[in-house]
Amino acid sequence: MPASKKPIVIVTRKLPEAVETRMCELFDARLNVGDIPMSHAELGQAVKAADVLVPTVTDRIDRSLLSQAGPQLKLIANFGTGVDNIDLDTARVRGIIVTNTPGVLTEDTADMTMALILAVPRRLAEGTAQLKDPHRHWPGWSPTWMLGHRIWGKRLGIIGMGRIGQAVARRAKAFGLQIHYHNRRRVSEETEHELEATYWESLDQMLARMDIISVNCPHTPATYHLLSARRLKLLKPSSYIVNTARGEVIDENELARMVEAGQIAGAGLDVFENEPAINPKLLASDRVVALPHMGSATIEGRIDMGEKVIINIKTFLDGHNPPDRVHPAMF
Q: Which residues bind ligand 8YV (CB under 6 A)?
A: 56-57, 79-82, 105, 295-296
**Is the C-alpha dihedral spanning 273, 224, 234, 189 positive or negative?**
negative
Q: Angle at Cα 54 formed by Cα 160 and Cα 28, nearest 5°?
A: 155
Smallest gap from residue 105 Cβ to ligand 8YV (A): 5
Smallest gap from residue 230 Cβ to ligand 8YV (A): 26
User: Using an 8 Å Cβ cutoff, are 72 and 28 in contact?
Assistant: no
User: Of 121 and 162, which CB lies nearer to ligand 8YV in the complex structure?
Assistant: 162
DSSP 8-state secondary structure symbol assigned to residue 160: -
Smallest gap from residue 278 Cβ to ligand 8YV (A): 16
User: Of 211 and 270, which CB lies nearer to ligand 8YV in the complex structure?
Assistant: 270
Residue from 186, 209, 257, 293 carrying the catalytic annotation? 293
Q: What are phi and psi of 234, to 5 degrees?
A: -75, -20
The residue of the chain with the least Cβ separation from ligand 8YV equals 80
Smallest gap from residue 221 Cβ to ligand 8YV (A): 17
10 forms beta bridges with 30, 53
Q: Is 230 a catalytic residue?
A: no
User: Of 108 and 211, which CB lies nearer to ligand 8YV in the complex structure?
Assistant: 108
User: Of 66 and 105, which CB lies nearer to ligand 8YV in the complex structure?
Assistant: 105
User: Of 195 and 245, which CB lies nearer to ligand 8YV in the complex structure?
Assistant: 245
Q: What are phi and psi of 15, to 5 degrees?
A: -115, 165
- How far apart, in whole angstroms, are the C-alpha atoms of residue 298 and residue 296? 6
Q: Is 137 a catalytic residue?
A: no
- How far apart, in whole angstroms, are the C-alpha atoms of residue 291 and residue 113? 11
- 151 in helix, strand or coil? coil
For 220-279, the DSSP string reads -TTTTTSB-HHHHTTS-TT-EEEE-S-GGGB-HHHHHHHHHHTSSSEEEES--TBTTB--
> What's the count of helices (H) and strands (E) in the chain, helices before strands?
13, 12
Smallest gap from residue 91 Cβ to ligand 8YV (A): 16
Residue from 194, 260, 275, 307 carrying the catalytic annotation? 275
User: Of 110 and 179, which CB lies nearer to ligand 8YV in the complex structure?
Assistant: 110
- How far apart, in whole angstroms, are the C-alpha atoms of residue 86 and residue 107? 24
Closest CA to 60 of 34, 42, 74: 42
Residue from 13, 123, 246, 287 carrying the catalytic annotation? 246
Smallest gap from residue 80 Cβ to ligand 8YV (A): 3
User: Using an 8 Å Cβ cutoff, are 70 and 98 in contact?
Assistant: no
Q: Is 275 a catalytic residue?
A: yes
Residues designated catalytic: 246, 275, 293
